[in-house]
Structure 1
Amino acid sequence: MLISALLFHVLVATATLAVSTSGNEDASLVAGTDVSQPVQVVHPSASAGTTISEPVPDASSFNWAGSILTVDAATNVSSVTGTFTVPTPSIPPGGNSSGIYLSSAWVGIDGYTCETALLRTGVLFALVDGFVTSSAFYEWYPNVREYFGDISVAPGDEVTASVYALTSTSGEASIVNHSTGERTSVRLGGPDFVPLCRKNLDWIVGDPSQPNGPGIPSPLPDFGTVHFSDATGYVFGNPNAGQTVLNIVRNGTTFTTVSLGYETVVVEYIRE
């Protein structure tokens, strides 16, 4: 198990400059000049006081499945959160026990219509030569992905992931493991970080690469069903948003189905 975990981190671990903290700290939801605007709550499906458009039909991605909300030019995203149970990945149909199968469940800000930057956090899970491994991660793309060293996650754990855009160049990512009582957070940002557009709110399952490349996507494990509950975002300005539902499609094969409910995004792996 240790060898497989080390191999997993050699394959996917990278480094970025950040300071990680654990304990009971909660990130602020407001910062900078945005405090002059009203804070509004949004969800992946329509709720009181919020208008969500019908999902974009037939939206697909090589790597991502889930729900993305996009706000207008005068509105800025403040935070995104969601709670899910870490899945147990298994070998997909036609796979073999010596392969490497990689996926993740995460929440994020930007990365879709805003392709230049993405702030996200969640859990990366994989099968490496038949061994299951999982790690909590955070990332401010295009900086490299990093892993929390002070929290453990395992299949079956209930986890809440949250990201906060304090400004366009500063933010915070936090993970709470309700099953173990552990929590951690990290503050990110600085002049070397590409500014966020603060236009997309993301609840996603899939390869942690960008939606459609570059490069060859990792083979997906059978991750069963990932159910995001308490899927909520906060924005400064107009709470009305456009909604896109993405499914993973590769070489004409659809690997996922997505369903929505109030504060809920459910992503299911299609077993052929």
Structure 2
Amino acid sequence: MSLQRPTLLVLLPALLVGSLADRSILAQTQTEASAALETEIPGVAAFTRPPASFNPLTATDAEPDRYGFPQRPSRDLGADVLARWERRVMSQTRIVPQLKQTNTFHAPIRSLKQIKASGGTIEANSENWSGYAIVDPSNPFAKPGSQVEAQYIVPKPVSGCESGSETYSSANWVGIDGAFSNDVLQAGTETDLDCAAGASYYAWIEWYPNSEIRVTNLAVSPGDLISVSVFIAADASKHLSIENLTTRKSVSLAMTPPRGTELVGNSIEWIVERPTINNAALSKLTNYLLNPWTDIGGMTWPSRPGAPVAYLPNAAPAAATIYRLWMSDGTNQLGGVQLFSVDGAIPKAAPSLWFFATTPY
């Protein structure tokens, strides 16, 4: 994917009318070769609204990539997967994101300690993650066509504050890498509580070891239904999508890796995390009580033409290992996850996850 800078001749009318500050003007100056524009954050490009003539239901396989949509899923994954993709791409209104780098980091898994193993799934404790991770040593998730996605309801803090100086954080995200690798490519939302200022909610993307990048103009509220996905385009560029299905607003972005970093592609995840502040101390986990996730999906596409390979928390190829993760501070359990699935479904139905907080504070 090549990023396009608008030419001076195209921008001149906008300069004359004094509307250069309006980023929608930039969206209108993109060339037909690419729908991605550079942003104020180095290494991050934003996909703008596709032209009115673009119909994702009749587009070629290459066109969704051009406009920052996940690739059309194969019918081999089931009619429900294809229908879900069609609803997503047809119902959203793409906005040009406003971005802000912060001092919050969503890091790889920390202090992993196995509890038990059963039937190809390892249960383990982690300092910062709860959820599910799938690790495949063949590194399939770096290949074009790989994807991880989910939908969830934005949770709301339920516990009161004992003092005005306390702060709590909780991040929902899906991503590639981070389990037994030093990077994480991820997209999600945050539910934070500042006991002096109140609760706050926002969308973000990140390619760790760089810090979080907030999407400040994509509104997020408790109770909103959010869809997030991270996927590898046909040209191997790395794309991230966040859609607020309640407000029908979305952003789609592409990222290049931080200096000295490359995508390993050894794992995908569905995670609730207590992030790291200033890349130093772990935050206290927001007591969100319960947080339902649905439409859990992950896949690779080893070759085209050919069939995709599904990776789900309840079903993965034999070479892969599924991790069910509990969050613990070493003394207390802080959070966990429960898997719900329809056994024997053909094709296998997407499982659901229920996250829960058990924070002692």
- Alpha-carbon distance between aligned partners in 1 of 2:258 and 2:192, rounded to the nearest angstrom: 33
Q: Tell me, yes or no, if structure 1 residue 69 matches structure 2 residue 134.
A: yes
Structure showing greater relative contact order (alpha-carbon pairs closer than 8 Å, 6 or more residues apart): 1
Match of 1:27 in 2: 69
- Alignment counterpart, residue 89 of structure 1, candidates 154, 157, 169: 157
Shift of 1:121: 0.3
Q: Tell me, yes or no, if structure 1 residue 265 matches structure 2 residue 353.
A: yes
TM-score normalised by the chain length of structure 2: 0.59
Q: 1:254 to 1:170 in 2, by over 3 A?
A: same
Q: 1:223 to 1:188 in 2, by over 3 A?
A: same
Q: 1:132 to 1:53 in 2, by over 3 A?
A: same
Match of 1:99 in 2: 166
Shift of 1:122: 0.4
- Percent sequence identity is 23
- Alpha-carbon distance between aligned partners in 2 of 1:119 and 1:68, rounded to the nearest angstrom: 14
**Which letter maps to 1:27?**
F
Match of 2:121 in 1: 55
- Tell me the C-alpha RMSD between the 2 structures: 3.1
- Alignment counterpart, residue 189 of structure 2, candidates 119, 123, 127: 123
Higher helix share goes to which structure? 2
- Alpha-carbon distance between aligned partners in 1 of 2:147 and 2:228, rounded to the nearest angstrom: 11
The answer to whether the Cα contact below 8 Å between 2:173 and 2:270 also exists between their aligned partners in 1 is yes
Q: Report Cα offsets for 1:150-173 as digits up to 9, x if no partner.
A: 311111110001111338973011
SS at match of 1:56: strand
**Which letter maps to 1:127?**
L
Structure 1 unaligned runs (5+)? 1-14, 31-37, 42-51
Structure 2 unaligned runs (5+)? 1-40, 51-66, 78-117, 303-308, 311-316, 342-350
Correspondence list, 1:196-207, <5 A = 196-207=263-274
Match of 1:18 in 2: 44
- Alpha-carbon distance between aligned partners in 2 of 1:122 and 1:265, rounded to the nearest angstrom: 16
Shift of 1:98: 3.3
The answer to whether the Cα contact below 8 Å between 2:175 and 2:269 also exists between their aligned partners in 1 is yes
Q: Which has the larger radius of gyration?
A: 2
Higher strand share goes to which structure? 1
Count, aligned residues: 238
Q: 1:235 to 1:169 in 2, by over 3 A?
A: closer
The answer to whether the Cα contact below 8 Å between 2:285 and 2:359 also exists between their aligned partners in 1 is no
- Alignment counterpart, residue 215 of structure 1, candidates 280, 283, 299: 280
The answer to whether the Cα contact below 8 Å between 1:55 and 1:243 also exists between their aligned partners in 2 is yes
TM-score normalised by the chain length of structure 1: 0.76
